[in-house]
Amino acid sequence: MFKKLHDDGAERVTVTIDGREARVPAGETVAAAALIHGLQPFRTSAVSGAPRAPYCMMGVCFDCLVEIDGTPNRQACQVRVAEGMAIRRQDGAGETAP
Amino acid sequence: MRGADTLVIGGGLVGAAIAYGLARRGVSTILVDEGDMAFRASRGNFGLVWVQGKGDGMPGYAAWTRLSADLWPRFAEELGEETGIATVYDKPGGFYLCRSEAELAEQETRLQRIRAKNTAPGPDYEVLDHQALAERLPGLGRAVVGGTYCPHDGHCNPLFLLRALHVGHAALGGRYLPNRRVADILPEAGGFTVVTDGGKVQGDRVVLAAGLGSARLAPKLGLSVPVVPQRGQVLVTQRAEPRLAHPTVYVRQTGEGSFLLGDSHEDVGFDEGTTPEAMTFIARRALDFFPYLAELPVVRVWGALRVMTPDGFPVYDRSREHSGAFSAACHSGVTLAAAHAERLAGFVAEGALPAEFRGFSADRFDVQEAA
Amino acid sequence: MTARHELAVIGAGPAGLAAAATAAELGLKVALFDDQPAPGGQIYRGVERTPLADPAVLGDDYRRGADLAEAFRASGAAYHPSCGVWLLTPERELGLLDNGQARFVTAGRVIIAGGAMERPVPFPGWTLPGVMTAGAGQILLKSAGMVPGKGVVLAGTGPLLLLLAAQYLRAGVQIAALLDMTPPSNALRALPHLPAALSAFGTLAKGLALKREIHRAGVRVVKGVTSLRALGEARLEAVAYEAGGREQRLDSELLLVHFGVIPESNTTRSLGIRHLWDSRQLCWRPVADAWGNTGAEGFAVAGDGAGIGGALAAEYAGRLAALEAARALGRIDAAERDRSAAPVRAALAKERRVRPFLDVLFQPAPELISQLADDTVVCRCEEVTAGQIREAVGQGCTGPNQLKSFTRCGMGPCQGRQCGTTVSQLIGHTLGRPVEEIGAYRIRPPLKPIGLTQLAALDGEGEAAA
Ligand SMILES: Cc1cc2nc3c(=O)[nH]c(=O)nc-3n(C[C@H](O)[C@H](O)[C@H](O)COP(=O)(O)OP(=O)(O)OC[C@H]3O[C@@H](n4cnc5c(N)ncnc54)[C@H](O)[C@@H]3O)c2cc1C
Ligand SMILES: Cc1cc2nc3c(=O)[nH]c(=O)nc-3n(C[C@H](O)[C@H](O)[C@H](O)COP(=O)(O)OP(=O)(O)OC[C@H]3O[C@@H](n4cnc5c(N)ncnc54)[C@H](O)[C@@H]3O)c2cc1C
Ligand code: FES
């Protein structure tokens, strides 16, 4: 869906997106990183199970919710990537903590 | 405006349940209500259909509550069939959780006292230690030392309940007049004229069920409904996968999956606001009970006003001066919805409250003052 | 200890940056809180460190932001990035989520400069992956240097849609089509406002230049588009629409829509500030005086959050609010405030003169809301449809708050931001009453969801739990 205009030479961090490793620019949002690396959909809705992905990218729609490091309901467009971060699709309402 | 047999003032849970019950009995009714922003306990409550602990000091209330809990399953089913709206009622039994031995002992004594005066059959409650509780509530926090369980306790979606009562009432021919704040009630020969800011309405009988609004209107009918607001703040989380199978007094998981975390008790007048202090307090208690809630985002915090009588028990009255006028006020309008629709409405339709309802009269407050 | 600031500014867009810098220069102790990691707000997002090799892609206006950010950095105002405000109390306590930690501060005065959001307009399929807003596309461009891979379809109306098209073209992106949903009758209706607008010739000229740029690039522009639909199962596969009385269909995996911007009013509304329905901009905005003062004691608003005026107007309004704060806090007297304000006010007035023309020219068609198909989802979170809303209204539901309790519409994590405006309009239309009378959702804290652990941890902070 999206591509990078060019390699901006920024520092990179390694994250996993649904288990697959990816090198992404430090400081980028989880949503941007996951869109480029083809996470599709980001989640399924809690009401009907419909597929959802980022819509507004500015934090007002909550359709970009994913599981980050085991915690569901994280707003991918508002969270920045970090070294070692595990990003996963969220199915329906998230699980509570163990 | 064309009148009806009975005017019900107040479209909250209490008024709507009575109006629905009346309509089911073929009584023509008009439900007169305020607008979108009105104070409404019915829109801000916790949704428990709750028996344990109710009626300490008034056996009649314990019995009335238990009766309503017994009526609820059939009531919910019929209401659902008639309206197509599920109230999401579930009766898996409920827990009261205690974080200290003293609190547990106090709760046990309270339940014993109520039990001693209660004539209803069957086991009413169990007292459980942490271990026994944790088996039934997996993931229970270490901070909980014990608690009590009552099989009659349940919960529902109180918002859908309110909607179903309104839809059920309308489907049976009842009329609903929103945006009509009642300014005055004029008793007349053989009936009443209710003066609203949107015109007048006439009826043979009138039921005053306007929640906190009843305090001001009651004297016009020769009644007294001495209710005052008590604020409760509630937190609700984002939806989560099902985890908590039973309602507890301060934490329950709704049918939709969100967790409701309750609730504060504050005397702050007509202020529906929220406070950081209460939010923090409620969050901490909820985490003490169920640490697995830790990462759940809270999406909304609200304050709502309980309709409190001086002793916390309901007021049901019929006016001595104007025999067609009734009042109903309580602070457990969800729990009592079934009894209000199935029994109280019947009494109103017949035109008299039964003898055992004398204890619910607001007269009791005069007596206490005299003593 | 709860920190106390003389002046708290919320938002680091043009309004907030200008307000904070101006106030700090006047000697106020200022703290600016913004939920983004870097200053700039929407228009100047990423301005200090753009990932773009050629920032000229974004246009000349973008550069003004660098100056603003620089002046702000030099002003001495304390800057708190990645710090969202989730609670405001009438006592001017601010609940912060500061890099993930909850804490409270209090302030003598508060300037709310939280900006705007894009107007959510429901249409069939708008929840499908692959349907995003034009603003979302622009954010990806500004902050991550990302552009559509192939054949993006742009649809809707408003200057931002044209701007994005031009920015994409400059970046070499191929645009499959621009579906212009501006009602053709708008031009005529806007005409009476044109003379006033001409005084802001620059803004109009820029708009025309954008159109020319798009035209020259040979982008397929379809006018008079209605009945937009996004088709697909798991994701967007095609865009369907009507134009010139014919059904059309375009295969595409990315549709970016835009219907103008509206104030993000949850923040101001949470304080119980009165809001008016702006029938020209078709949105709610907080009632405020010429300095931005609202009905909530000590709270002022500035920028697009107070009513859409654009980046320059936001900057000027920010300065005015700061001058008023300095007066209220005793740094300058009213005479000095007025003296300093005069040129700013003149510039602001000039900037605003173009608004009525633009507002009417790009007004979305009323049918987008009034003719919503019954099975179209209005509340994205709780998946409540237009039909369900109409049904509830038919059952005696008089306003958004009752609707919410009847249907769960507006109860999800976005807290009604996506459905609120639509719901007020739809209820108004169904009942045949003005939106103003229908009202809006009552907004409760938190302004953004906050973790239970974070709330609970507040206790340790001392005053929070006292
Ligand atoms: C935080 C909280 C938690 C609660 N939890 C529970 C629980 O778990 N279980 C339970 O059983 N109960 C609970 N309750 C109590 C329950 O919500 C109330 O008992 C019930 O809603 C009362 O209903 P009501 O109809 O009397 O009052 P309200 O819901 O307040 O309704 C009164 C109605 O009368 C209308 N009205 C008022 N004045 C006028 C006038 N002058 N003219 C016309 N109309 C008027 C109002 O607009 C309103 O619609 C809780 C309450 C609160 C606040
Ligand atoms: C997605 C989008 C893209 C836009 N792009 C352009 C453009 O390219 N060109 C143009 O001329 N106009 C654009 N606009 C219009 C824009 O509204 C104005 O140009 C201008 O940015 C308004 O400035 P402002 O200072 O009022 O608000 P903004 O620039 O929106 O700044 C508000 C800031 O406050 C922050 N904030 C909001 N609420 C909180 C909170 N509770 N806690 C902490 N921080 C908070 C926001 O994250 C943001 O950083 C865009 C609008 C949107 C919504
Ligand atoms: S994409 Fe809308 S909140 Fe993240």
What is the per-residue pLDDT across C314-329, written as a single tens digit (0 to 9) for each? 999 999 999 999 999 9
Q: C264 touching A, CB under 8 A?
A: yes
What's the rounded Cα separation, in Å, for the pair C65 and C46? 10
Q: B236 touching A, CB under 8 A?
A: no
SS3 content of chain C, % helix, strand, coil (to 5): 40, 25, 40
What's the rounded Cα separation, in Å, for the pair A97 and C109? 40
- ipTM value greater than 0.90: yes
- Least trusted range by pLDDT, from A49-63, B124-138, C201-215, C380-394: C201-215
- The answer to whether B240 contacts A94, with C-beta atoms less than 8 Å apart, is yes
Q: A84 touching B, CB under 8 A?
A: no
Q: Which residues pair with B252 in a beta bridge?
A: B260
Q: Is the pLDDT of residue C4 over 70?
A: yes
- The answer to whether B293 contacts A97, with C-beta atoms less than 8 Å apart, is yes
CA of C358: how far to CAs of C180, C194, C425, in Å?
A: 15, 9, 21
What's the rounded Cα separation, in Å, for the pair C225 and C211? 17
The residue whose C-alpha atom lies closest to atom 31 belonging to ligand 1 is: B12
**Which residue of B40, B51, B61, B150 sits with most ligand 1 atoms within 8 Å of its CB, as the best mutation to test the pocket?**
B40
Q: Is the pLDDT of residue A71 over 50?
A: yes
Question: pLDDT: is A27 or C337 the higher one?
Answer: C337
CA of B155: how far to CAs of B94, B191, B255, B261, B357, in Å?
A: 9, 38, 9, 14, 26
In this prediction, residue B122 has a pLDDT band, given cuts at 50, 70 and 90, of low
- Which residue in chain C has the smallest CA separation from A29? C144
Per-residue confidence (pLDDT) for residue C463, from 0 to 100: 38
A-chain CB neighbours of B241 within 8 Å are 92-96
Q: In one letter, which amino acid is C463?
A: E
What's the rounded Cα separation, in Å, for the pair C60 and C71? 18
Contact between A73 and A79 under an 8 Å Cβ cutoff? The reply is no
- The answer to whether C413 contacts B238, with C-beta atoms less than 8 Å apart, is yes
Burial of C17 (0-12, 13-18, 19+ CB in 10 A): buried
In this prediction, residue C53 has a pLDDT band, given cuts at 50, 70 and 90, of confident
Q: How many CB pairs under 8 A join A and C?
A: 119
Domain A12-88 -> CATH class = alpha beta
**Percent with pLDDT over 70 in chain B:** 96
The DSSP line for C76-143 is T-EEE-SEEEEEE-TT-EEEEEETTEEEEEEEEEEEE---EEEPP---TTTTSTTEEEHHHHHHHHHH
What is the residue extent of each domain of chain A?
Answer: 12-88
**B350 CB contacts (<8 Å, ≥6 apart)?**
none
What is the mean predicted confidence (pLDDT) over C140-164?
95
- The answer to whether B238 contacts A98, with C-beta atoms less than 8 Å apart, is no
In this prediction, residue B41 has a pLDDT band, given cuts at 50, 70 and 90, of confident
Per-residue confidence (pLDDT) for residue C466, from 0 to 100: 29
Task: For residue B350, give the DSSP letter.
Answer: H
- Which residue in chain C has the smallest CA separation from B277? C465
Express each pLDDT in B310-335 by its tens digit.
Answer: 999 999 999 999 999 999 999 999 99
Per-residue confidence (pLDDT) for residue C458, from 0 to 100: 83
- For residue C94, give the nearest of C121, C71, C112, C74 by alpha carbon: C112
Where do we find the tokens 């849609």? Answer: C161
Q: Is the pLDDT of residue B36 over 90?
A: no
Domain C120-259 has CATH 3.30.530.20: no
Q: Is the pLDDT of residue B2 over 80?
A: no
What's the rounded Cα separation, in Å, for the pair A78 and C81? 12
Per-residue confidence (pLDDT) for residue C464, from 0 to 100: 34
Q: Is the pLDDT of residue C461 over 80?
A: no
- Least trusted range by pLDDT, from B59-63, B116-120, B271-275, C248-252: B116-120
Output the CA C305–ligand 2 centroid distance in Å. Answer: 8
Question: pLDDT: is A11 or C459 the higher one?
Answer: A11
Per-residue confidence (pLDDT) for residue B120, from 0 to 100: 61
What is the mean predicted confidence (pLDDT) over C96-100?
93
What's the rounded Cα separation, in Å, for the pair B66 and B51? 6
**C62 CB contacts (<8 Å, ≥6 apart)?**
C43, C44, C47, C55
SS3 content of chain B, % helix, strand, coil (to 5): 35, 25, 35
B-chain CB neighbours of C412 within 8 Å are 238, 299
Q: Is the pLDDT of residue C59 over 50?
A: yes
| CA torsion, ordered C397, C403, C408, C410, to nearest 10 deg | 170
Where do we find the tokens 């101001």? Answer: C268
Q: How many Å separate Cα A26 from the centre of its chain?
A: 14
Q: In one letter, which amino acid is B364?
A: R
Express each pLDDT in C370-426 by its tens digit.
Answer: 999 999 999 999 999 999 999 999 988 889 999 998 899 999 999 999 999 999 999
C-chain CB neighbours of A80 within 8 Å are 37
Angle at C116 between CA C110 and CA C121, to 5 degrees: 145
The correct CATH number of C367-438 out of 1.10.3720.10, 3.40.50.720, 1.10.10.1100, 3.30.413.10 is 1.10.10.1100
Q: Which helix (H) or strand (E) holds A71?
A: strand A71-75
Instruction: Answer whether C3-117+262-332 and C120-259 agree in fold.
Output: yes
What's the rounded Cα separation, in Å, for the pair C260 and A5? 26
For chain B, the average pLDDT equals 94
> Per the structure block, which two tokens stand in for C272?
């119980």
What's the rounded Cα separation, in Å, for the pair C13 and C337? 23
Q: A71 touching B, CB under 8 A?
A: yes
Reduced to 3 states (helix: H, G, I; strand: E, B; else coil), residue B58 is coil
Task: For residue B266, give the DSSP letter.
Answer: B
- Which residue in chain C has the smallest CA separation from B158? C405
Distance from CA of C444 to the nearest CA of B (A): 6
Q: In one letter, which amino acid is B264?
A: S
Strands of the sheet with B258-261, listed across from one edge = B251-253, B258-261, B228-239, B297-308, C450-451
- The answer to whether B277 contacts C466, with C-beta atoms less than 8 Å apart, is yes
What's the rounded Cα separation, in Å, for the pair C402 and A5? 48
- The answer to whether A78 contacts C132, with C-beta atoms less than 8 Å apart, is no
Where do we find the tokens 């009905």? Answer: C295
Least distant ligand from the CA of B39: 1
Express each pLDDT in C207-243 by its tens digit.
Answer: 899 999 999 999 999 999 999 999 999 999 999 999 9
Partners of chain B (3+ Cβ pairs below 8 A): A, C
A-chain CB neighbours of B240 within 8 Å are 72, 93-96
Output the CA A85–ligand 3 centroid distance in Å. Answer: 19
Q: B369 touching A, CB under 8 A?
A: no
Per-residue confidence (pLDDT) for residue C462, from 0 to 100: 38
Q: C91 touching B, CB under 8 A?
A: no
Q: In one letter, which amino acid is C243?
A: A
Output the CA C159–ligand 3 centroid distance in Å. Answer: 22
Ligand 3 contact, A72 CB (< 6 A):
no
What is the mean predicted confidence (pLDDT) over C350-369?
95
Q: Which helix (H) or strand (E) holds B302?
A: strand B297-308
Q: Is the C-alpha dihedral spanning C210, C215, C219, C224 positive or negative?
A: positive
In this prediction, residue C465 has a pLDDT band, given cuts at 50, 70 and 90, of very low
Q: Which helix (H) or strand (E) holds C306?
A: none
In this prediction, residue B368 has a pLDDT band, given cuts at 50, 70 and 90, of low
Q: Is the pLDDT of residue B277 over 60?
A: yes
Distance from CA of A83 to the nearest CA of C (A): 17
Q: In one letter, which amino acid is C130?
A: G
Ligand 3 contact, A54 CB (< 6 A):
yes
Partners of chain A (3+ Cβ pairs below 8 A): B, C
Q: Is the pLDDT of residue A4 over 80?
A: yes
For chain C, the average pLDDT equals 94
Contact between C98 and C83 under an 8 Å Cβ cutoff? The reply is yes
Query: Which residues in A have their CB inside 8 Å of a CB on C?
Result: 1-6, 8, 10, 25, 27-29, 32, 35-36, 40-42, 45, 47-48, 50-63, 65, 73, 77-78, 80
What is the mean predicted confidence (pLDDT) over B347-369?
91
Distance from CA of B148 to the nearest CA of C (A): 26
- For residue C128, give the nearest of C297, C293, C257 by alpha carbon: C257
Per-residue confidence (pLDDT) for residue B366, from 0 to 100: 86
C-chain CB neighbours of B178 within 8 Å are 396, 398
What is the mean predicted confidence (pLDDT) over B226-252?
96
Q: Is the pLDDT of residue A74 over 60?
A: yes
What is the residue extent of each domain of chain C?
Answer: 3-117+262-332, 120-259, 367-438
Give the pairing type, strands B175-177 and B29-32: parallel
Ligand 3 contact, A79 CB (< 6 A):
no
pTM of the model: 0.94
Express each pLDDT in B180-208 by its tens digit.
Answer: 999 999 999 889 999 999 899 999 999 99
Residues with CB under 6 A from ligand 2: A 58; C 10-16, 33-36, 41-43, 61, 84-85, 113-118, 135, 138, 160, 163, 261, 267, 303-305, 310-311, 314, 447
Q: A98 touching B, CB under 8 A?
A: yes
Contact between B205 and B22 under an 8 Å Cβ cutoff? The reply is no
Q: Is the pLDDT of residue C52 over 90?
A: no
Per-residue confidence (pLDDT) for residue C460, from 0 to 100: 46
Output the CA C46–ligand 3 centroid distance in Å. Answer: 18
Per-residue confidence (pLDDT) for residue B81, from 0 to 100: 97
> Per the structure block, which two tokens stand in for B50?
């709750």
Q: In one letter, which amino acid is C104?
A: F
Least distant ligand from the CA of C137: 2
Give the pairing type, strands C299-301 and B94-98: unpaired
- For residue C224, give the nearest of C241, C239, C199, C202 by alpha carbon: C241
Q: In one letter, which amino acid is C251?
A: D
In this prediction, residue B286 has a pLDDT band, given cuts at 50, 70 and 90, of very high
Q: Which CATH superfamily is domain C3-117+262-332 in?
A: FAD/NAD(P)-binding domain (3.50.50.60)
The residue whose C-alpha atom lies closest to atom 35 belonging to ligand 1 is: B10
What is the mean predicted confidence (pLDDT) over C116-124?
98
B-chain CB neighbours of C455 within 8 Å are 235, 279-280, 283, 298
Q: Is the pLDDT of residue B18 over 80?
A: yes
Contact between B334 and B45 under an 8 Å Cβ cutoff? The reply is yes
